[in-house]
Amino acid sequence: MAKKLSIERIIHNQGFGARKLCRIMVWNNEITVNGQPCDDPNTEFELENLSYTVKGEAWQYREKSYLMLHKPSNYECSHKTQHHPTIYSLLPHPLVVRDVQCIGRLDEDTTGLILISDDGQFIHKMSSPKHKVPKVYEVTCKHAVDEAQIAHILKGVQLIDEDAPIAALECTRISENVIHMTLAEGKYHQVKRMVAAISNRVEGLKRIQIGELKLPDDLAVGEWRWLSVDDMMKLAPK
């Protein structure tokens, strides 16, 4: 049997405020459901394929949130920032109320693909080292990168405070100063430290892929979108 909830509870669960406020919005004709006005907070609706508007803004009911964001530079991946704006300021307020979390933080000066969700199991699956989800970074280096340095990264570099050398899963030279590096771990400043270990320095760092999910060309810097079914399939472990 399809699950039903009252419109008051639906709007509340989706992050639009306290139950009392949601009730008032319904009474004030600020809510439509599946294209129809609704002024009774107790009216129940099936949740599957439910669409609604709040003060004219269209939404789709989602039990859990799964998002991608094209992170800009000079944004912090934290709800409590120190020096720069938070990436959560780029999201609609109802999603922030739902306590979405980024999956694997990027440094403030690193850009690119970041996943965000309020599904604890999904967050764990994507971030846990045991699942070894590969991530691809586009690395712009200060000095030209030669084939010997690529080979060193693939063989493994010794980092301070690490017991054994750490190797990239893949490392490809794109141009004289740009490489694509694939890692399965997420150690502190890992890309920057690995590049430093081959006597070079990172000048620009952008995450361009997680699993088989690539940063879309049409997702502008600072923009976000919902993950599609196809996107989720690309993130599923093989």
Residues annotated catalytic, as ranges: 107
Helix, coil or strand: residue 147: helix
Query: In which element (H, E) is residue 110 found?
Result: none
Residue 213's closest CA among 191, 190, 236? 236
CA terminus-to-terminus distance, the chain = 33
Contact 204, 192 (CB under 8 A): no
DSSP class of residue 37 equals E
Contact 195, 202 (CB under 8 A): yes
